[in-house]
Amino acid sequence: MKVCVVGASGKLGRYMVQHCLDRDYEVVCVCREKSIDKLAEFGDRITIVPGQTDDREVIGRAVAGCDGVLTVLMPRGVKGYSTGTAEAVLAAAEPGARLIFSCGWHISRDGKDVYPRMLKLQVAVFGPIARLLRFADLDDQVEACDRIFASDTEWTVVRGSDLEEGPSEGLPVWSRHVGDPILESNRTRRIDFALFMVAALTGDDLVREAPAITSRQSESAKAHQPPAS
């Protein structure tokens, strides 16, 4: 399998590259020119296409021939970086390729998510401040995901809970709506967020789904997981 990781040099991206290499996938990475050094640990086991992730020419070259594309959606700046990145991937990917995108719980596909008070507060406070400082635009990530949801490609939007570092706790559990009891713990190891993204490449049950995830070792997951058969 040949996989492109868009936004490969960040923390989530590097975990995804490692998981792909562990599976012997051929890996193509897109990252900004100034961040290439952050991929040095992978040496010649990866191909790097340097450039902005919302550059259609860059993405077109990177995803050519790929069976899957793993995209880190980041709402950086206020010029539609997330939306431009999503559009570039949706337009350039091979027909039938599995397209997996990352975002946070704050994204809602159908408006039926029930959010913890703290998350609502974070979005209400951080959103306007980040936009005012021209640091990030959460609405851009919302717009990017709306365009993905409307696409007829083989997409999956993985909605990460609060993230933490540490060794793997296994493949996270998921549910369709934030507010479902299994997700209540709201914590996932970043390495496992990446694991879920990579596993989604081959998970047919996740096509055109927007799973919200949490660690399988969290209290809520342990309390609400169906018993193993």
Q: How far is the CB of 37 from ligand NAP (least distance, A)?
A: 10
Least distance in angstroms from the C-beta of 9 to ligand NAP:
3
Q: Is 37 exposed, middle or buried (0-12, 13-18, 19+ CB in 10 A)?
A: exposed
Which lies closer to ligand NAP via its Cβ, residue 24 or residue 33?
A: 33
CB of 227 to ligand NAP, least distance (A): 29
The nearer residue to ligand NAP, 13 or 68, going by C-beta atoms, is 13
Pick the closer one to ligand NAP by CB: 73 or 92. 73
Q: What is each CA distance from 24 to 18, 19, 21, 43, in whole angstroms?
A: 10, 9, 5, 15
Nearest CB to ligand NAP, comparing residues 175 and 204: 175
d(CA 13, CA 144): 18
Residue 171 CB-half CA count within 13 A: 10
Comparing C-alpha atoms, which of 145, 141, 6 is closest to residue 68? 6
Contact by Cβ (8 Å): 1, 67: yes
Beta carbon of residue 134, minimum distance to ligand NAP (angstroms, whole number): 10
Compute the least distance from the CB of residue 211 to ligand NAP, in Å.
13
**Contacts of residue 224, Cβ cutoff 8 Å, sequence gap at least 6:** 181, 182
What is the identity of the amino acid at 198?
V
Of 19 and 190, nearer to ligand NAP (C-beta) is 190
Among 181, 165, 160, smallest CA distance to 102 is for 160
- Which residues in this chain contact ligand NAP in the complex, by CB under 6 A? 7, 9-13, 31-32, 35, 38, 72-74, 76-77, 81, 102-104, 160, 162-163, 190
